[in-house]
Chains A and B, each alone.
Chain A
Amino acid sequence: MLRLTSVAKFYGERLVFKGVDLELRPGRVLMVVGANGAGKSTLLRVMAGLSRPSAGELSCSLDKGQMAYLGHQTFIYPEDTALENLRFWTGLYGLGLGDEALEAALERVGLKKFSQERAGHFSRGMAQRLNLARVFCIAPRLLFLDEPDTGLDEASRAILHQEIERAGQGERSVVWVSHHLERDLAKADEVLHLDRGRVAYHGPVAGFDASVMAGASTC
Chain B
Amino acid sequence: MLTPALRIASKDLRLSLRGAQGLAQTALLGLLLIFVFSLSRKPGDPVPALAAAAIFWLSSLFAQVLVFNGLYSLEENNGARLGLAMAPMPPQAVWLGKALAGITLLLVCQCVFALAVAAFLGQSVEGSPLVGVAAVVTVDVGLAALGSLMGALASGKSSRESLLTVVFFPLIIPVLLAGIRLLEGVLTAGEGASLDWLGMAAAFAAVFSAAAIVLFPHLYTGEE
* B82 interface residue per 8 A CB criterion: yes
* B14 interface residue per 8 A CB criterion: yes
Q: Which residues of B contact A50 (CB under 8 A)?
A: 82, 85-86, 221
Contact of B7 among A68, A76, A80, A92 (CB under 8 A): A92
The reply to whether A79 and B18 contact each other, CB–CB distance below 8 Å, is yes
The reply to whether B78 and A52 contact each other, CB–CB distance below 8 Å, is no
* A89 interface residue per 8 A CB criterion: yes
Q: A52-B223, A73-B78, A94-B3 are in contact. Are A79 and B19 (CB under 8 A)?
A: yes
A42 and B18 alpha carbons, distance in the complex (Å): 36
* B192 interface residue per 8 A CB criterion: no
A197 and B88 alpha carbons, distance in the complex (Å): 31
Interface of A is mostly: loop
Q: A52-B223, A78-B77, A80-B15 are in contact. Are A73 and B82 (CB under 8 A)?
A: yes
Contact of A75 among B8, B14, B79 (CB under 8 A): B79
The reply to whether A64 and B86 contact each other, CB–CB distance below 8 Å, is yes
> In this complex, what residue of B is CB-closest to A54?
B223
By size class, the interface of chain A is 20 to 34
The reply to whether A67 and B86 contact each other, CB–CB distance below 8 Å, is yes
* B74 interface residue per 8 A CB criterion: yes
A194 and B221 alpha carbons, distance in the complex (Å): 25
Per-residue interface assignment for chain A, residues 70 to 82, with 1 indicating a CB less than 8 Å from any chain B CB and 0 otherwise: 0111111111100
Least Cβ–Cβ distance between B217 and chain A, in angstroms:
12
The reply to whether B221 and A89 contact each other, CB–CB distance below 8 Å, is no
Q: A51-B223, A94-B3 are in contact. Are A74 and B79 (CB under 8 A)?
A: yes
Number of interface residues of B (CB under 8 A): 24
Contact of B82 among A71, A84, A89, A92 (CB under 8 A): A71
The reply to whether B7 and A88 contact each other, CB–CB distance below 8 Å, is yes
The reply to whether B88 and A94 contact each other, CB–CB distance below 8 Å, is yes
* B127 interface residue per 8 A CB criterion: no
* B156 interface residue per 8 A CB criterion: no
Per-residue interface assignment for chain B, residues 73 to 90, with 1 indicating a CB less than 8 Å from any chain A CB and 0 otherwise: 010011110111111110
A69 and B82 alpha carbons, distance in the complex (Å): 9
Q: Which residues of A contact B3 (CB under 8 A)?
A: 94
A134 and B66 alpha carbons, distance in the complex (Å): 31
* A65 interface residue per 8 A CB criterion: yes
Q: Which residues of A contact B160 (CB under 8 A)?
A: none
Least Cβ–Cβ distance between A140 and chain B, in angstroms:
10
Contact of B89 among A48, A51, A76, A92 (CB under 8 A): A92
Q: Which residues of B contact A52 (CB under 8 A)?
A: 223
Contact of A73 among B8, B18, B79, B84 (CB under 8 A): B79
The reply to whether B77 and A69 contact each other, CB–CB distance below 8 Å, is no
Q: A68-B86, A92-B4, A93-B87 are in contact. Are A127 and B78 (CB under 8 A)?
A: yes
Least Cβ–Cβ distance between B168 and chain A, in angstroms:
26
Per-residue interface assignment for chain B, residues 81 to 112, with 1 indicating a CB less than 8 Å from any chain A CB and 0 otherwise: 01111111100000000000000000000000
| Those 4 A-B pairs whose CB atoms lie nearest each other, nearest first | A73-B79, A65-B88, A75-B83, A64-B88
Can you identify 9 A-B contacts, CB atoms within 8 angstroms?
A: A50-B86, A50-B221, A68-B86, A69-B83, A71-B82, A75-B79, A79-B19, A80-B14, A94-B88
Chain B residues within CB distance 8 Å of chain A = 3-4, 7-8, 11, 14-15, 18-19, 74, 77-80, 82-89, 221, 223
